[in-house]
Amino acid sequence: MSEIVSNIKLGHIETFQMVYRQYHPKLYFYVLKHTRSPYLAEETVQLTFIKLWERRTALSEEVDISLQIFRIAKSLMFDLLRKETSTRESMAALARNNKTVQTDPDVFKRAELRDVYETIEQMSPVRQKVFKLSRIDGLPNKAIAEQLSISPKTVENHIGRALRELKDARSPAGSPK
């Protein structure tokens, strides 16, 4: 066995290929048994042989090559499983945050609507009534004027001032109006 390790350490590609052909199926099914993932099994096997070749000079001639290969594979398998779990958790967190982000506009709309209603409720009783009849009930200015016994021009003035109050209420404090 130490001859195989010695040849690999010296960079003999033929010996490495022989080891690859011999251990690839065994290693694949070992990892597949533990991960139940063909993707992770194949990824672990490929990374194992890459690492084996890259670190061939550090191989021990006293330890059987199969034991060294399976140690590398076991370490890589745990790393890949940890990474996959972390990725899955990150994706789940992202999905949860995405749902929150999707509902946030509704929260902002409700808050904005509440602010509009509060501003309307703070208007003078006549302006409040004119505005609600116009914008909520959809009545034309002439119908509002007749219903409240005021001129259509007064209705226009109340609506204009109500809109200005709403606009002013939405402006951030200290900004020019």
Q: Which pLDDT score, from 0 to 100, does residue 104 have? A: 58
**Average pLDDT value over all residues in the chain:** 86
Residues 18 and 84 in one domain: yes
Check residues 103 and 76 and name the one with the higher pLDDT.
Answer: 76
Per the structure, the complete domain to which residue 162 belongs is given by 122-170
Check residues 146 and 115 and name the one with the higher pLDDT.
Answer: 146
154 assigned to some structural domain: yes
With pLDDT > 70 as the criterion, what percentage of the chain qualifies?
90
Residues 85 and 128 in one domain: no
Give the tens place of pLDDT for each residue, 90-133.
787 777 776 655 555 666 777 788 888 888 889 898 998 998 89
| CATH label of the domain that carries residue 61 | 1.10.1740.10
3-class secondary structure for the chain?
A: CHHHHHHHHCCCHHHHHHHHHHHHHHHHHHHHHHHCCHHHHHHHHHHHHHHHHHCHHHCCCCCCHHHHHHHHHHHHHHHHHHHHHHHHHHHHHHHHHHHHHHHHHHHHHHHHHHHHHHHHHCCCHHHHHHHHHHHHCCCCHHHHHHHHCCCHHHHHHHHHHHHHHHHHHHCCCCCCC
Residues 130 and 73 in one domain: no
User: What confidence category does residue 72 fall into, taking pLDDT thresholds of 50, 70 and 90?
Assistant: very high
